[in-house]
Amino acid sequence: MRRSKRSSMLVRERYRVHAAKYLGHGSQGTVCRALDEISGVPLAAKLFSAAQAKAGAHEAEVLRRVDGCELVTAYVDFCELVKPSEDGEVSGVVLPPASVLLMEFVTGGDLLARLLAGGAVAELSARSVFADLACAIAHCHSRGIAHRDVKLENVLLDMDGRVKLADFGLAAIVRTRLDEAERLLLDRCGSKAYVAPEVIASSAQPYVGSAVDVWAAGVCLFAMVAAFFPFDIACPQRDWRVPHVLAAQAHGDSSCLVLFALAQRPCPFSQPLLDLLDRMLLFDARARASLDEVLRSAWLQALTDPDAGAWRAPNDAASELASDAAAATAEAQASETCVSGPQEELGAPVEVIVLDDTAGDVFRSVSLSRLDADQPGATTFDDVVTDADVYRSLALAVGLVPSGVSKAVPALCRMPACNGWAALGRDHVL
Ligand SMILES: Nc1ncnc2c1ncn2[C@@H]1O[C@H](COP(=O)(O)OP(=O)(O)O)[C@@H](O)[C@H]1O
Ligand SMILES: [Mg+2]
């Protein structure tokens, strides 16, 4: 492989790609540091060789579709270097790259490294990370994307310990519209310890991508709290534990208890966690918990110690939202600044489907909640529409959104389609 003294290249006369500042490598590409020289923002760049170019274009397309959620690595740009005239200027693994995917740079490393360094995670901490992960996956599903490679290595963490789901190299577009049924998938892919049984079953049938993500998220959660993986591979012929677990599931017994018994260790899981994981790790994909059920599970809905971390359980957020809204109503009535608007109760979420103007058929489902514009962190409809051109069609969202919307809905809250999460504040709003 040819190497030159220089180890950086400029892409689109804007992005400085530092191939020598290596961040990671996998089957699909090599990731290194980059810099947006115009804005000064540090980035991550995934470099694809000519042989990987198709995969690169697919990953970029998927990342564009899921962009706009703080829990998913943000898409920045995708550049196909038709004439790699800067041949030799990059000293990374790919020389020269055929294409470069530019993404947000996530600084906190991945969840596997965190676990390897620190060992098992207490339920309370695991819950905050898992809530983020489940919401990130729900967001992807709401955009018609099944990730198919959810695993600890692909769950990156930012400086605050918040999740950034990464690596959409194996993701599949399973729907292009919300009202479409999920397209079944056939290709056998994933990572050994995380792949759902239906993907690798000998009588391979088409499978549901979203159910595969639930299984993999269950494996992540199990591994986080147990510090071992439930299976080497979820196949009865290839992992001796699988027949025992299948027998337990046939009798309605707990898979987790069986797994701990086989490991000759006491099970430290609380009953709500046990219940949740038993539902997520069901071999029968049709009986497995949906992501919606996961988000509504007792374990995730449980009250947390407010001092224990940044995460708030979905219900906490929702009830806080409702009480904030009630307070806002009272305040607004008192000062007679209450704006006219929809007939729905303040704080009551209204589901709407919003089309993304710039990305063709990309869609999303959002919940809007009426709040007071003066509320800290509230963002007006006008702000959103002006700040993010991509959501121009928001104001045109179906009839559920009231007329005269820019003044009638002073603030927005977003939830994934599953309604499992609500958040306030500029960073969270659409
Ligand atoms: N946006 C990012 N910010 C920081 N590190 C990243 C980023 N994307 C990927 N990485 C690092 O590079 C590794 C490989 O990237 P990934 O997209 O998972 O590629 P692969 O498909 O080859 O597994 C990741 O495990 C992570 O350590
Ligand atoms: Mg990866």
Tell me, what's the pLDDT at 321?
30
Q: What is the rounded end-to-end Cα distance, in angstroms, of the chain?
A: 45
Tell me, what's the pLDDT at 95?
61
Helix axes 209-226, 111-118, angle to 10 degrees: 20
Which candidate, 277, 319, 280, 273, places its Cα nearest to that of 299? 273
Q: Which amino acid is at 332?
A: A
Q: What is the mean pLDDT of each run of 10 residues along the chain (430 residues)?
A: 62 91 82 96 94 93 95 96 55 69 95 90 92 95 96 94 95 90 93 96 89 98 96 95 98 98 95 97 98 93 48 34 36 27 37 38 41 42 32 30 30 27 26
CB count in 10 Å sphere of residue 403? 10
DSSP 254: -
DSSP 77: E
Instruction: Pick the residue whose CA is nearest to atom 18 on ligand 1.
Output: 167
For ligand 1, whether the C-beta of 185 sits within 6 Å is no
For ligand 1, whether the C-beta of 106 sits within 6 Å is yes
Distance between CA atoms of residues 62 and 64, nearest Å: 5
Tell me, what's the pLDDT at 25?
79
User: Which pTM value belongs to this model?
Assistant: 0.72
Tell me, what's the pLDDT at 82?
67
The verdict on domain 111-312+416-424 having CATH code 1.10.510.10 is yes
Tell me, what's the pLDDT at 178?
77
Find out whether 98 and 200 touch, Cβ atoms under 8 Å: no
Measured from the CA of 28, which atom of ligand 1 is nearest?
22
- Domain boundaries, given as residue ranges, for the chain: 12-104, 111-312+416-424, 316-384
What's the residue count for the chain? 430
CATH class name, domain 12-104: alpha beta
Q: Which amino acid is at 41?
A: V
Find out whether 45 and 32 touch, Cβ atoms under 8 Å: yes
CB count in 10 Å sphere of residue 337? 12
Helix (H) / strand (E) containing 198: helix 197-200
Which candidate, 377, 369, 378, places its Cα nearest to that of 409? 369
Tell me, what's the pLDDT at 393?
29
Q: How far lies 229's CA from each of 117, 210, 217, 226, 260, in Å? A: 16, 21, 12, 8, 11
For ligand 1, whether the C-beta of 281 sits within 6 Å is no
Instruction: Pick the residue whose CA is nearest to atom 27 on ligand 1.
Output: 24
